[in-house]
Structure 1
Amino acid sequence: MKWSAKVIKHKGENRIAVYFEKNADLIARIKKIDGARWSQTLMAWHIPDTEENRVRFKITPISQTIPSEEAQIQIEKFKQWMRSKRYSENTITTYCEALKSFLVFYREKAITDITNQDVIIYNNEYILKNNLSASYQNQIVNAIKLFFKIVLHSKMIIEELQRPKNAKKLPMVLSKEETFKLIDVTTNLKHKTLLALIYSAGLRISEAINMKITDIDNQRMLIHVKNAKGKKDRYTLLSTKVSELLKEYYAVYKPKTFIFEGQNNEQYSSRSAQSILQQAAKNASISKKISLHTLRHSFATHLLEAGTDLRYIQDLLGHSSPKTTMIYTHVSSTSLKKITNPFDM
């Protein structure tokens, strides 16, 4: 009987999910494990994440996933240092988790003895062996470079650390027809407003769920995006139709602070927002693999196809470099449509 097991986070708790085809004998055996429960959501049995259960299901022991005591102290110092430099909490979490992975790999080695060669070995023996992405490898290198800036008497030569080459992938973009269909088939007023606002203003999901009612300027028909990526503020467009949709939404849902609020007037979660998009895509029969960021890509591409200057699009999206915005010239169909296919001549 085939089965698989992995460590998961379920309702804020570390658990081990065990997957197997329905079998009375296996179900009887797993029920004997203390704390075993069935989850309809996961469609799996899950048990407490303990050393014993990890050994039982051939998962890496907990002791081998924790950095050395010295490394734990240094990671905490690194966290405090980043906070003092006013890095965002998301960046702090990402860098600390990436650094933790690296220091777990070298938990038997003193941090001051880690060299550039050790980074190469880690990339080959852990990143590549486990088929982890180049973007994850890039995060590791960024975290290491930043971390070793504050490590005294280090053998690491930060300037010589090389980032991996990233694949130059073009963003997924929806046509105008697909975008409007996606929004139109969404009947729930809150969900429709969320999708319409993200697309019409070119917002990141974090910007949408952090947006407050006071950030909407109906007089100037602008939206004030505050403390966005890179701790930058910017203004973007407020659509006339979305302005009307927001008024209707306010009258029904009566949000207190944030435009989109869940239970107890708390911010909407990004996971809920992504679920809304996936359901809308299904209802609109869109088979493309999309995310909420696809709506932001589509906003930029549609502006470019309508003749909007690239510099204005850069400002609306909040890009630091025009090179980032230039990618949309490669997905815009306007220039390509001017070319006659030799097959049609």
Structure 2
Amino acid sequence: MIQNQKMIGIKFMPDKLIQALIKSLPDPKWSQRHNMAYIPNTKENLGILYNTFRGAVWINYNRFFTNKPQNSYNETVDIAYYRKRKPIPDYRYCPEEYLLKLELKRYAKSTVRTYVFFFEMFINHCRHKDLQTIDEIDIRAFLQQLIQRNVSNSYLNQAINAIKFYYEVVMDMPNRFYEIERPRREFKLPKVISKDEVLSLIENANNLKHKCIISLLYSSGLRRSELLNLKLADVDSKRMLIRVEGSKGNKDRHTLLSQTVLEDLRLYFREWKPREYLFEGQKGGRYSPQSVLKIVKEAALKAKVRQSVTPHVLRHSFATHLLESGVDLRQIQVLLGHGSSKTTEIYTHVATNTFKNIKNPLD
């Protein structure tokens, strides 16, 4: 935005060819503040830009087409909750256009919740400024306040994403705040427990239902949300597979079904008689995420496992133990539903067989 008008900014490394091509564009100007060339943002100029630079430079076209749906398969998000909230004195709610764009792009519920939370935190930090007049200085001041609270890098990145979503996607200003610095991505090793500790967890479950939940999380490498979404038909006892539908990234996959777990599931089914979902609450319907976490935590406490255990620790342990037993990394990637092999490669950093062949210099 320059003098309240949308412009196409052109930032490039010093190059005589590019400079010559920019001069051939209609009425190009230079912005000292943004340190880049620019022309008015019109459809005609966009076409001229593509034709001028075709074959000479690489342009990220996605920055100009931000209105495409993010996801066609996500369940409908109930934005009405955010719209119906009672006004709070001196508190700014998310603008309607922000909510509408989240709704149209069909972001996952968790993403909507995160974006609304962080954007409202930001606009209330700058509550005395109009959203159109906010600049990089305001954003940096907000981020500095978060840093002083000693929040994680992931927390900071989520805040930046929520802010950029408004200006770049809702207001259609690609790369308006391109100068905002992002924190370095943290590299943390997955937490893993031993096979003996996993067995001890299962043995210390309160009842058969809890035992099946802990066993499935580990033996199939399921995320907590995937476990809760499992339906009776998803357990394929003939092929010894579990079908996982609509997992992270809206991908379906199959994962392993343990013979031991299958026998426990049959006993569980006769006793508990679930109707739709494999694990249901007392009044029917999907089991709650909080209940699953509580089950795992209580079993870990009884089993006297020293480190903190969550459902995701069981998933990490599943992948690590497979790698240690010689299963190919690509097969583990498929079982976990990872889109990239780089995500799965992190388990090579914690698998014990990585270190077994290395002789300790002290010994």
Could you tell me the TM-score, scaled by structure 2's length? 0.72
Question: In structure 2, how many angstroms separate the alpha carbons of the residues matched to 1:252 and 1:111?
Answer: 58
2:254 to 235, 246, 269: 235
- What are the within-5 Å matches in structure 2 for residues 91-110 of structure 1? 91-110=111-130
Residues 1:129 and 2:148 are matched in the alignment: yes
Stretches of structure 1 that go unaligned for 5 or more consecutive residues are 1-61
Question: In structure 1, how many angstroms separate the alpha carbons of the residues matched to 2:226 and 2:174?
Answer: 40
The residue number in structure 2 matching 1:277 is: 296
1:207 to 211, 226, 231: 226
Question: In structure 2, how many angstroms separate the alpha carbons of the residues matched to 1:257 and 1:150?
Answer: 39
The residue number in structure 1 matching 2:344 is: 325
Question: In structure 1, how many angstroms separate the alpha carbons of the residues matched to 2:278 and 2:177?
Answer: 43
Quick check: which has more Rg, 1 or 2? Answer: 2
The residue number in structure 1 matching 2:58 is: none
Instruction: Tell me which amino acid in the other structure corresponds to 2:107.
Output: Y
Instruction: Tell me which amino acid in the other structure corresponds to 1:117.
Output: I
1:150 CA displacement: 3.2
The residue number in structure 2 matching 1:292 is: 311
Residues 1:174 and 2:193 are matched in the alignment: yes
Judged with a 3 Å threshold, the aligned counterparts in structure 2 of structure 1 residues 80 and 219 are, in CA distance, closer, same or farther, namely farther
- Cα contact 1:184–1:192 (8 A) shared by 2: yes
Question: In structure 2, how many angstroms separate the alpha carbons of the residues matched to 1:263 and 1:77?
Answer: 40
1:105 CA displacement: 0.7
Instruction: Tell me which amino acid in the other structure corresponds to 1:269.
Output: S
Question: In structure 2, how many angstroms separate the alpha carbons of the residues matched to 1:153 and 1:197?
Answer: 45
1:251 CA displacement: 0.5
Question: In structure 2, how many angstroms separate the alpha carbons of the residues matched to 1:162 and 1:191?
Answer: 45
3-state secondary structure, aligned to 1:190 = helix
The residue number in structure 2 matching 1:26 is: none
- What are the within-5 Å matches in structure 2 for residues 305-320 of structure 1? 305-320=324-339
Stretches of structure 2 that go unaligned for 5 or more consecutive residues are 1-87
The residue number in structure 2 matching 1:90 is: 110
- What are the within-5 Å matches in structure 2 for residues 11-160 of structure 1? 63=89, 66-67=91-92, 72=93, 74=95, 76-124=96-144, 126-152=145-171, 157-160=176-179
- What are the within-5 Å matches in structure 2 for residues 173-192 of structure 1? 173-192=192-211
Could you tell me the TM-score, scaled by structure 1's length? 0.76
Question: In structure 2, how many angstroms separate the alpha carbons of the residues matched to 1:169 and 1:151?
Answer: 33
Whose helix fraction is larger, Structure 1's or Structure 2's? 1
Question: In structure 1, how many angstroms separate the alpha carbons of the residues matched to 2:143 and 2:127?
Answer: 16
Question: In structure 2, how many angstroms separate the alpha carbons of the residues matched to 1:170 and 1:131?
Answer: 21
Coordinate RMSD, CA, aligned: 1.7
Question: In structure 1, how many angstroms separate the alpha carbons of the residues matched to 2:260 and 2:326?
Answer: 21
Residues 1:223 and 2:252 are matched in the alignment: no
Structure 1 consecutive aligned stretches of length 4 or more whose deviation exceeds 4 Å: 153-156
3-state secondary structure, aligned to 2:290 = helix
Instruction: Tell me which amino acid in the other structure corresponds to 2:195.
Output: K
Judged with a 3 Å threshold, the aligned counterparts in structure 2 of structure 1 residues 90 and 245 are, in CA distance, closer, same or farther, namely same
- Cα contact 2:157–2:183 (8 A) shared by 1: yes
Post-superposition CA distance 1:186-218 (Å, at most 9, x none)? 141110000000111111111111111111111
1:102 CA displacement: 1.1
- Cα contact 2:167–2:174 (8 A) shared by 1: no
3-state secondary structure, aligned to 1:148 = helix
- Cα contact 2:168–2:175 (8 A) shared by 1: no
Instruction: Tell me which amino acid in the other structure corresponds to 1:90.
Output: S
Tell me how many residue pairs correspond in the alignment.
Answer: 276
The residue number in structure 2 matching 1:12 is: none
Post-superposition CA distance 1:105-160 (Å, at most 9, x none)? 11111111122232211111x20122222111111112122222234386972443
1:250 to 269, 277, 280: 269
3-state secondary structure, aligned to 2:169 = coil
1:236 CA displacement: 0.9
